[in-house]
Structure 1
């Protein structure tokens, strides 16, 4: 059979496809794409609603909840929706193009929020540049809005009277509101950059702390000249100092530092009074506090301030004294929620101090008597019988501080700090846009069309996108209103002096909102407890890696994800170790690398080799004696160091240090490649040794784990790697010491626990600010980062270790 083409020429073969078949294929493809768009829109709406719930849970449980996963999935579905939207625009009919253009306008409204769900801190960019305004950063948004405006102008049939009469004003208003929202975002970032309470806060805090330190030194000289008498006795001079006594005199600023700076009118005045002073940070080109050459190059601070305005600041002292007045309502027994609010304000103050280190401003108070008194007698107070509670409190304060720090480098927090009213204007403008948007959709439905099935799908997609936008906006609003940021701001407003109207009208409203927030949080905690996820703020999780499990294929899958709670005994021991380092007059706050365990010297090795050797000895000792049997412990208030579970403490800290070697070597003192090479060498050596102690088919007998490692523990000469030899030798030394007449098994574990505490304190001080920024963005307030922040505030620095032997070179270490 012969087929003729359009020119009348004959052609053989199969007939050309029928037009109806082509149309059917196109219809099927269009329906499939419409189904994909509906599915993606439904998924986005569900994730948006989940985001609202998870946002509140995140405020209670911390950042690493399902909230982060929901944000990731929402961003993923949003990016997936964009190419589908392009396809719908290219294949939409005349009536459908109006819906697609409305979608494009709505997408632009929350595109920035969804794209900002991966914060700048994820790249470790904790610096002044994060808050810096760049007009070029908004060029993409401007281009997209101009393009949408062109599409509205060119794709809509404005000659139709109904569309021209009904839809032209709506599109004009919506597009204008989208442009206004863009202008508002530009204004927000510009104000955040110029705000003294946001981007300029670190500079002001540096100058203010210089003034406080000079005042403290002057008062100290007066006290020394005038003897011990007088009313200026320090709170820490009492025989039983506690946190209240120290914080009741703490001048660290919580809020209001921007009030110190003279405005333009005040600077233009020719007359100068004695209250106007120029504050300068001397000798700060390199260094931090009393320790020169401890940091990168720092900015010199020169501030012209009015000292009369110092009384307008809200300090930790003001918070402690004003909230202490609430004790009369509770019978002189401070409730937990008041303690929590006081500690939160202290954390916020410490966050402002720590920001200077990320933004390279001098931390002049570090190492001073004032800062050390606050740490030793206040935050690191280990007086019995509440040593466990005090240690947990210290870690909780630092965790809150690091949360404030990480949240500051999110997209919207600088805007909130600079002008909170901008945040509420943004939310109200979004509600206005949504109201007009829904009205436009209702008007669009009144225009008659033939394809009602497609119209229903387009309407459903439109409503789902509106729900997603509302969910994102409500999440931002609720997470701010119930955030720790807003609570600290309210507490500072409460303690600030004011007139009669302020005291009798505004302060009761603040108290009511704080009570409501307390009710909401307790209700959510109860719900989480009923669902089997109780919240314990005192617990701190640490990641664990065991090198023996890593060397075993059966246990390898469990070796990378295990997490355990840091024992309370370890917290107390770490706090006491930090306090001892601060009070040691011989070292002046320096910590040295520990080299001895029960008389066994491990000198001449690098930090990484010491960790690997001692970790191997700890693991072999646990294989030998097994895990400790659970026994009834005495109450924490009655527990003494000799009653501690030293084995659990030693193994937990040992595996955490091993986690640092295996997963985050950049936080260790040694070079990352050296750490990786040593780790791989020891792991390969142990794998080879364990194969020799077992049959050749290692996979077939995982139940012989204990016997295999006990055989490895008897080796020393057979091991080819020097670090593994040192680990086995240390294990044998500990076992030999246990066999003495006056020695017990717990003595070896006690020695190991003390060693790991000292080693962890040695690892904590560091000048690698960017490394801790990346760790904070990825893993949150990890133990090593918490200790790093504590050491920074306390003025503890790492003493240079002994130089390694000349034959130690990365990748070539063979002994």
Structure 2
């Protein structure tokens, strides 16, 4: 028995070692592939926007990295065991594992920050020493392993150099966070912007009181951005330095935000819960004022861009980019709880209407809002505050990473030559090379996407271009900036051409919108398609939303009067139930209408009597897409609906359960006819729901009952189908605008961090800047007892 068992134990151990070595190689190969893919997709994301595979690749890279850590622990224990048994025979394996440990510490911080969602608050820019304690502990442990495991003095010196470079990288990260916390252009920018906007608002009110125009004389050909004083960069230069504060110059201006810091208030007009902002600026400091770059400066001076008598489209794009960056700085105060004194003023309303709604088409306005939210989302990531506070720190960080990789590569070659005779050293060399490729890919991706080709860096260059300078700056500096901008445009257009050739054209005007249909969710055949599909927001929908924003004013009311409903006439009492009921009515009308109408030539008399098919199709598209988007908010993002999240989810499930019961009854009835096709079976229950009588409706869920009644009310009227679709399109447009203003900053921050700039978040940002809010509930809506009675089976006649 002993003779038989001896040869079985050794092959089993060898087989386990081979499996683990193959697992290490496979994981390293996967890491390098994902790192290379991250670089390609990262550049593609700069052009295609949020809806790319960038987030998925980062998630897979982090998961693969976490898988590599236990494998690395096994290889370390295996190398130590082999070293004890065979002396110097396996020392090379231990040296390679120590190399991996040092390299992994550099990759760990980058990978950990990839999937973590940034905190949209002041805490995100605060330096916390405790967050680096685990890094310090691991680095000390690696230093102990190097001291205890490496015997040769030359090799120990080589590892000490690598360990020192890794420690220097850790020190750089600590310094970066410390500088970002103290920087007035990063963490302190929101406070300065709050004081600056107070100053701008006061100046605007003085000009209006004196009978002048706040932005200067305006003509029909003026660009509204030429009169916008919103700051883009350089606001930190306005602050008085300590030396000037001690002199107490007469040019010193003290700015404070009134009506803040006392009691409890409510955004946007009563901001009593926010702190006072106190700033001292030098009103006559020409150097500081020349360093301050506003949207007005960008718009005017880029008009004189070389070879541009008439402003080209890319110049307009750069002006809109700077305007969106200024809006991002203003919106940051909302997340970090600083006063937004201009909100609700005539100035803010005028700027948002002129620069966004009336200065261009609807797609352009939504593009500006999307870029603003992209700036906001990127700012609350790990590296962007560092870039904004001191760009040279980011460049030094990248160059030090290249130096580390170079030294690391030399160390890997020396260890390979030292352990050339050992078995399996080629495999360890390949793994080391793959890990270096992964680190380089991550560093290059960060450098290209967060700095060199980022929109932030382009805005920074444009601000440097428009700032006044000396003769040498005008002759040397500005041409270099123009060359880099031209190079950036060339790279981007080349990538767009490549994407177009590969069948993935890029259209910046496109905006995705998610869809959910509660009717389709009740049908087994179309259930999976109704989970959450994406469609492109139609131009007609954007135009309708912009028109609704123009007509809204400062206070938006619930648009039930558009479809003929009033609070006293419907058996529902919350916004969620109204959305569910109107969505069901829209879906039933869509099912009754069948396929979309096609263009047909009609006689002139018939065209005068009936609406045009194109208008009918446009209104129908707007109504159905916005209806399903609002249902997506109810079903998937209940935190963005005014009602409580649990209530929203419960009401959605109640409506879906009720419709599922009706669909099940319809299928049972249809099975009696064996000749009927599946499509007829799927639509028979809808037809029965459309024709349901009042005695049956009394037993239905209140939202379902209200939806069927609204559908019957719309179809029984003498109006044409085109008129019904127009009413529904206007209703859903106004309802979406009604849902946009909100005090729920955390809900939008959560959606923005996980899904990017959604349609409702873009509208919320616009309403925040323009000071638009929802009308407070009236007496009929606040009377809960009466609403409970009406929500039951005793509707008010």
Give TM-score, length-normalised by structure 1.
Answer: 0.89
Offset, 1:689: 2.1
SS of the residue corresponding to residue 127 of structure 2 reads coil
Residue 480 of structure 2, aligned match among 509, 514, 525: 509
Offset, 1:726: 1.0
Contact 2:268–2:768 (CA under 8 A) maintained in structure 1: no
- Larger displacement relative to structure 2 (421-430 or 61-70): 61-70
- Larger displacement relative to structure 2 (430-439 or 399-408): 430-439
Instruction: Provide the residue aligned with 1:729 in structure 2.
Output: 709
Residue 611 of structure 1, aligned match among 559, 572, 579: 579
SS of the residue corresponding to residue 777 of structure 1 reads helix
- Are residues 658 and 297 of structure 1, via their aligned partners in 2, closer, same or farther at CA, if it must alter by over 3 Å? same
Residue 124 of structure 2, aligned match among 130, 136, 155: 130
- Are residues 437 and 138 of structure 1, via their aligned partners in 2, closer, same or farther at CA, if it must alter by over 3 Å? same
- Are residues 558 and 644 of structure 1, via their aligned partners in 2, closer, same or farther at CA, if it must alter by over 3 Å? closer
Unaligned runs of 5+ in 1: 1-13, 224-231, 383-388, 583-588, 634-638
Residue 259 of structure 1, aligned match among 220, 231, 237: 237
Say yes or no: does 1:369 pair with 2:363: no
Instruction: Give the 5 Å matches for 1:592-607.
Output: 592-603=557-568, 605-607=573-575
- Are residues 813 and 769 of structure 1, via their aligned partners in 2, closer, same or farther at CA, if it must alter by over 3 Å? same
Offset, 1:45: 0.4
Question: 1 CA distance for matches of 2:6 and 2:663?
Answer: 72
- Are residues 809 and 468 of structure 1, via their aligned partners in 2, closer, same or farther at CA, if it must alter by over 3 Å? farther
Contact 1:320–1:342 (CA under 8 A) maintained in structure 2: yes
Offset, 1:561: 2.6
Question: 2 CA distance for matches of 1:152 and 1:67?
Answer: 37
Residue 313 of structure 1, aligned match among 292, 304, 307: 292
Instruction: Provide the residue aligned with 1:660 in structure 2.
Output: 633
Offset, 1:219: 1.2
Contact 2:193–2:329 (CA under 8 A) maintained in structure 1: yes
Give TM-score, length-normalised by structure 2.
Answer: 0.91
SS of the residue corresponding to residue 68 of structure 1 reads helix
Contact 2:27–2:68 (CA under 8 A) maintained in structure 1: yes
Q: C-alpha deviations, 1:300-332, integer Å up to 9, x for none?
A: 101112222334200000100110112x61442
Say yes or no: does 1:29 pair with 2:8: no
SS of the residue corresponding to residue 329 of structure 1 reads coil
Question: 2 CA distance for matches of 1:557 and 1:666?
Answer: 23
Question: 1 CA distance for matches of 2:413 and 2:681?
Answer: 72
Q: C-alpha deviations, 1:247-282, integer Å up to 9, x for none?
A: 101110000111111222222x2x322321111000
SS of the residue corresponding to residue 325 of structure 1 reads coil
Instruction: Provide the residue aligned with 2:94 in structure 1.
Output: 97
Offset, 1:688: 1.7
Question: 1 CA distance for matches of 2:241 and 2:355?
Answer: 37
Instruction: Provide the residue aligned with 2:115 in structure 1.
Output: 118
- Are residues 245 and 235 of structure 1, via their aligned partners in 2, closer, same or farther at CA, if it must alter by over 3 Å? farther
Say yes or no: does 1:147 pair with 2:156: no
SS of the residue corresponding to residue 117 of structure 1 reads helix
Instruction: Provide the residue aligned with 2:153 in structure 1.
Output: 164
- Are residues 616 and 361 of structure 1, via their aligned partners in 2, closer, same or farther at CA, if it must alter by over 3 Å? same
Question: 2 CA distance for matches of 1:812 and 1:646?
Answer: 32
Instruction: Provide the residue aligned with 2:666 in structure 1.
Output: 693
Question: 1 CA distance for matches of 2:711 and 2:319?
Answer: 47
CA RMSD of aligned residues (A): 2.3
Say yes or no: does 1:498 pair with 2:487: no
Offset, 1:63: 2.2
Contact 1:554–1:702 (CA under 8 A) maintained in structure 2: no
Instruction: Give the 5 Å matches for 1:286-301.
Output: 287=265, 291-292=269-270, 297-301=273-277
Instruction: Provide the residue aligned with 1:474 in structure 2.
Output: 444
Offset, 1:596: 2.5
Instruction: Provide the residue aligned with 2:32 in structure 1.
Output: 45
Contact 2:253–2:281 (CA under 8 A) maintained in structure 1: yes
Question: 1 CA distance for matches of 2:330 and 2:201?
Answer: 13
Contact 2:256–2:279 (CA under 8 A) maintained in structure 1: yes
Contact 2:193–2:235 (CA under 8 A) maintained in structure 1: yes
- Are residues 697 and 134 of structure 1, via their aligned partners in 2, closer, same or farther at CA, if it must alter by over 3 Å? farther
Question: 1 CA distance for matches of 2:188 and 2:255?
Answer: 16
Question: 2 CA distance for matches of 1:450 and 1:236?
Answer: 81
Residue 396 of structure 1, aligned match among 358, 367, 375: 367
Q: C-alpha deviations, 1:452-486, integer Å up to 9, x for none?
A: 3x101100000000111111111111112011011
Instruction: Provide the residue aligned with 1:585 in structure 2.
Output: none
Offset, 1:640: 13
Contact 1:593–1:801 (CA under 8 A) maintained in structure 2: no
Say yes or no: does 1:341 pair with 2:314: no
Residue 544 of structure 1, aligned match among 512, 515, 535: 515
- Are residues 282 and 233 of structure 1, via their aligned partners in 2, closer, same or farther at CA, if it must alter by over 3 Å? closer
Instruction: Provide the residue aligned with 2:493 in structure 1.
Output: 522
Instruction: Provide the residue aligned with 2:589 in structure 1.
Output: 621
Say yes or no: does 1:460 pair with 2:457: no
Offset, 1:287: 4.8
- Are residues 809 and 726 of structure 1, via their aligned partners in 2, closer, same or farther at CA, if it must alter by over 3 Å? closer
SS of the residue corresponding to residue 573 of structure 2 reads coil
Instruction: Provide the residue aligned with 2:103 in structure 1.
Output: 106
Q: C-alpha deviations, 1:759-778, integer Å up to 9, x for none?
A: 11110000000000001111
Unaligned runs of 5+ in 2: 80-89, 602-611
Contact 2:295–2:326 (CA under 8 A) maintained in structure 1: yes
Contact 1:210–1:279 (CA under 8 A) maintained in structure 2: yes
Contact 2:523–2:663 (CA under 8 A) maintained in structure 1: no
Question: 1 CA distance for matches of 2:481 and 2:613?
Answer: 43
Offset, 1:812: 13
Say yes or no: does 1:806 pair with 2:784: yes
Instruction: Provide the residue aligned with 1:415 in structure 2.
Output: 386
